[in-house]
Chains A and B, each alone.
Chain A
Amino acid sequence: MPTPAVERIFEEMMQAGEKAFGDGWSAVASYAPAEFRKMAVQIAEIAQNVAKYKLDKSEGYSEETGRILMKMQRTAAESVLVATTQLNLIAVQKAMDAMAKVLRKTFKGLVARIL
């Protein structure tokens, strides 16, 4: 069961993503939301593990480790954003290739010479 903190983090990330990608958002909608949800869960998990360690040193992990894990999460966010941009571009590239193919077929001689 996702905690309210996870839900809040996830919603904020989704809104930021939609804003940043605008119309291209739908092209990556199956990949990005799943990754943003994982990030939200993991950020909450890091906080929980640091809290556990403070109570019992045999559980969770130290604040210092938690800080490095947060840096890792930031790096993962960059990976997801770069991949999302690439997925958008792949969709555009495929659309352009398909367009060029149709044009080649339709205007055989002339277009084939130019493209």
Chain B
Amino acid sequence: MRTLLLAVLLLLGGCPAPLVSPYDEVIEKGVVELYEQLNFFVRDVADAAGKPEGTYEANARRYNVMETKLDVLILRASSRSLGSGCRLEAKVYEKVASTLGGSMPADMKPQGEPAGDANGCNTRLLELVKQQLGFIREIHARTDKCGTPPVSCLRPATAASALKIANQSITAVSVVEAAKRN
């Protein structure tokens, strides 16, 4: 009995650092607001495709507003992190590394490595949302064209696809925060 108790105590005592970062209401609420803001914005811009008010130039500042909001959330998450990146399960890390090939982010670490901490993954999830916003901005500014003469726009079909994909990254943040809260 004494050995068993000692083993359990060692087991619990051996993990002093939490496995996941604590629940953060500000991040959960901020991400829900961003979801609403981005979804409204993309639909609004797609409705105006081909018109002057739907061009990238007319909407660049709205991207800046959303980006700034994300920067604030990233700063909040990273201020709690040791700055050593996000630690993934070893097998998952291998899978992600093989999927992403050479573009594996340097701050993604497999579990078991000393680098990486529980708060790093929160930061990473938010950075991925920011990347998605950057991709939508790039399409709007550079690759989508509408009307005659062609002007920059977000085509309705692009808007539909881009929103569904970006929402997956946003949902990932809220699913994790909701799981911590419950």
Contacts and interface: CB of A to CB of B under 8 A. Distances in A.
Interface of A: 16, 19-22, 24, 31, 35, 38-39, 42, 45-46, 49, 52, 59-62, 64-65, 68-69, 71-90, 92-93, 96, 99-100, 103, 107, 110-111, 114-115
B12 A85 contact: no
Contacts, number: 152
B168 A87 contact: no
Contact of B168 (A19, A39, A88, A92): A39
Contact of A16 (B9, B95, B166): B95
Contacts of B94: 20
A110 to B, nearest CB: 8
Nearest to A69: B161
Nearest to B104: A78
- Interface residue tally of chain B, by bracket? 35 or more
A76 B176 contact: no
B106 interface: no
Nearest to B138: A68
Contacts of B84: none
A107 B134 CA distance: 54
A89 B12 contact: no
B112 interface: no
A69 B42 CA distance: 14
Given A62-B143, A72-B166, 16 more contacts: A20-B95, A24-B89, A42-B165, A49-B157, A64-B143, A69-B165, A75-B132, A76-B166, A79-B172, A81-B92, A84-B92, A85-B92, A85-B121, A86-B176, A103-B9, A115-B13
